[in-house]
Chain A
Amino acid sequence: MTDQTTMLEPNFVPYQENDEPLLRVSGVTRYYGDRLGCTDISFNLWPGEVLAIVGESGSGKTTLLNCLSTRLAPTAGAIEYRMRDGSMRDLYQLTEADRRLLMRTDWGFVHQSPADGLRMTVSAGANVGERLMAVGNRHYGNIRATATDWLERVEIATDRIDDPPRAFSGGMRQRLQIARNLVTHPRLVFMDEPTGGLDVSVQARLLDMMRRLVADLGLSVIIVTHDLAVARLLSHRIMVMRHGKVIETGLTDQVLDDPREPYSQLLVSSILQA
């Protein structure tokens, strides 16, 4: 990491006090009118922990992720987040300005489709630099140096820094999106099917890179996926959802090797062939 990014977060300490959760979710419920999105979800996320939310399409995974990341207000329930000063704050009690600041500094959000998370019309360098500029960085040379550094970290050739993401392959776009999110050293990253739509070899490389970055930076991650292999590779803990409810939760290896619920067993047997 360059001087600039360290300067940006003078109090940045990779997780150390593990005595308190980073995110405390209690009774989160979301209805779309009469239809149920997800109901009564409660869990704690600890610093440095990677939590995978798995389940079939329509099981409420993305609804839950959107509620957690303040993109969609829950109908009921509370979500508290431990701010950098150590205080637990209810996300939906924060002002919108604070929430948006959180979104672009302390959090990251990796969309399934890179086009949703990137600015497709501006260069890769500007995409990575946007968050830095948003928090007041006004030195072009430093922004560019940081952007170059991050492109290297996500294995994009640095001579592509002035190319727009449109000129990138799908895998490169997804890596660029990750770099763009991590440049402010967030503590919590939400990922919505980050490997969706990529071919298997590109997926493998992306997963490898994500695993390394998560470990290096001590990130907490909530990753939504229907691909149990992704969950297996990345996550420490797993939550299986069905019909808007969490039906099983536990350590990833435990759930995948010895699923308790019939639905989880079905899921595991249907997908995890190897």
Chain B
Amino acid sequence: MSAHPDTATSPDEGHYNFAYLDEQTKRMIRRAILKGIAVPGYQVPFASREMPMPYGWGTGGVQVTAAILGADDTLKVIDQGSDDTTNAVSIRGFFEKTAGVETTTRTSEASIIQTRHRIPEALLTEDQVLVYQVPIPEPLRFLEPRETETRKMHALAEYGLMHVKLYEDIARNGHIATTYAYPVEVNDRYVMDPSPTPKFDNPKMHEMAALQLFGAGREKRIYAIPPHTKVKSLDFDDHPFEVQKFEKPCGLCGAENVYLDEVILDDKGGRMFVCSDSDHCEDRRSHGHLGEMAADPAASHLASTGEERA
């Protein structure tokens, strides 16, 4: 994010330019980012580059990260909240190799967090940037296939159609059954797809201190939510927006009010629910919080009390 010296000079043969992309490309992407920040929620077209990874693996997010990365940044990459899945590990490795930046799994230590489909549980600060990988940036796409028409609808703020989708949800399921990619209205103007994050994370976007950037590589769009911006999840007066609720706390760290993943343990129906944010879970456990399924002597004690409570 801060100036990095000597990156504009041509690198030796056999070396990558800082953060893989050439300087002109990064300038182009930064211009798109600035425009996105100036018009919160508006999808800015940009000349997305071919990246050394397949579409769907975060080519948009990687380009945004490459454009804003500085030599003194610390990068964290998560995939579904987890630091140790293939996508997260390979993107982290990619920037270690091409930019030589520090990487971390600790949310609080990162200055840039690239994410696929989660927002960290820990509160983000004004010093941090959250970069989302977006597969389909257009929230109206599945209702209106014509790009010319959706652009016009955004331009004229004609968003009635978005509610048609929510209406269908209620008509079919009795409640708004959209659980991810839940449409939001940014800064009282643009309706935006928050990428396929669970709707559990939508309230975190509202007035977030960190800058949020969204990159869609295949669809060639960048959009942004500046810090401390109003983000409202769409709903009906008689069917207000609600986030998912979990019956049990995290099996490993006992955290409540966090987003949990279901983990199948065996083929006899055994399962556990654990924090989707692996760093948050580890951090809590290192501070002595233990869930009822954690492999610790103290856990058996907690498990029994847990059963009594249940």
- Residues of chain A having any CB pair with chain B under 8 Å: 96-97, 100, 119, 122-123, 125-126, 129-131, 133-136, 138-141, 143-144, 161-162
Q: Which residue from B156, B160, B167 sits with its C-beta under 8 Å from A97? A: B156
Contact A125–B167 (Cβ < 8 Å) = yes
Given contacts A97-B156, A129-B164, A130-B161, contact A139 B171 (CB under 8 A): no
CA distance A126 to B152 in the complex (A): 22
- Per-residue A-contact encoding for B198-242, CB less than 8 Å = 1, 0 else: 000000000000000000000000000000000000011111000
- Per-residue A-contact encoding for B141-183, CB less than 8 Å = 1, 0 else: 0010000000010001010110111011011100000000000
In the bound complex, residues from chain A placing their C-beta under 8 Å from that of B170 are: 140
- Of all chain B residues, which has the CB nearest A98? B156
Contact B236–A129 (Cβ < 8 Å) = no
Given contacts A140-B238, A140-B239, A141-B238, contact A135 B160 (CB under 8 A): yes
- Residues of chain B having any CB pair with chain A under 8 Å: 143, 152, 156, 158, 160-161, 163-165, 167-168, 170-172, 235-239
In the bound complex, residues from chain B placing their C-beta under 8 Å from that of A96 are: 152, 156
Given contacts A100-B156, A126-B171, contact A119 B237 (CB under 8 A): no
Given contacts A96-B156, A100-B156, A119-B143, contact A138 B163 (CB under 8 A): yes
Contact A130–B156 (Cβ < 8 Å) = no
Given contacts A97-B156, A100-B156, A119-B143, contact A126 B237 (CB under 8 A): no
CA distance A131 to B156 in the complex (A): 15
Contact A139–B236 (Cβ < 8 Å) = yes
Q: Which residue from A119, A123, A131 sits with its C-beta under 8 Å from B171? A: A123
CA distance A141 to B238 in the complex (A): 7
CA distance A162 to B236 in the complex (A): 18
Q: Other than the known A122-B167, A139-B236, what 9 A-B pairs have Cβ atoms closer than 8 Å?
A: A96-B156, A122-B165, A125-B171, A131-B160, A133-B160, A138-B237, A144-B171, A161-B171, A162-B171
Listed residue (B156, B164, B235, B238) with the most chain A CB atoms within 10 angstroms of its CB: B164
B145 to chain A, nearest CB (A): 10
In the bound complex, residues from chain A placing their C-beta under 8 Å from that of B237 are: 138-140
CA distance A119 to B161 in the complex (A): 11
Contact A139–B238 (Cβ < 8 Å) = yes
In the bound complex, residues from chain A placing their C-beta under 8 Å from that of B235 are: 138
CA distance A71 to B172 in the complex (A): 34
CA distance A143 to B171 in the complex (A): 11
- Of all chain A residues, which has the CB nearest B236? A140
Contact B143–A133 (Cβ < 8 Å) = no
In the bound complex, residues from chain A placing their C-beta under 8 Å from that of B163 are: 133, 138
Contact B167–A143 (Cβ < 8 Å) = yes
In the bound complex, residues from chain A placing their C-beta under 8 Å from that of B143 are: 119, 122
B163 to chain A, nearest CB (A): 4
CA distance A100 to B160 in the complex (A): 13
Which 5 residue pairs of A and B lie closest in terms of their CB atoms, listed nearest first?
A134-B160, A133-B163, A133-B160, A140-B236, A139-B237
Contact B161–A134 (Cβ < 8 Å) = yes
A3 to chain B, nearest CB (A): 15
Given contacts A119-B143, A131-B160, A133-B160, contact A126 B168 (CB under 8 A): yes
Contact A126–B167 (Cβ < 8 Å) = yes
8 contacts between A and B (CB under 8 A): A100-B156, A122-B164, A122-B167, A129-B164, A133-B161, A134-B158, A140-B170, A140-B238
A155 to chain B, nearest CB (A): 21
CA distance A129 to B161 in the complex (A): 10
In the bound complex, residues from chain A placing their C-beta under 8 Å from that of B168 are: 122-123, 126
CA distance A122 to B142 in the complex (A): 11
In the bound complex, residues from chain B placing their C-beta under 8 Å from that of A133 are: 160-161, 163-164, 167
- Of all chain A residues, which has the CB nearest B170? A140
In the bound complex, residues from chain A placing their C-beta under 8 Å from that of B172 are: 123, 162
In the bound complex, residues from chain B placing their C-beta under 8 Å from that of A130 are: 160-161, 164
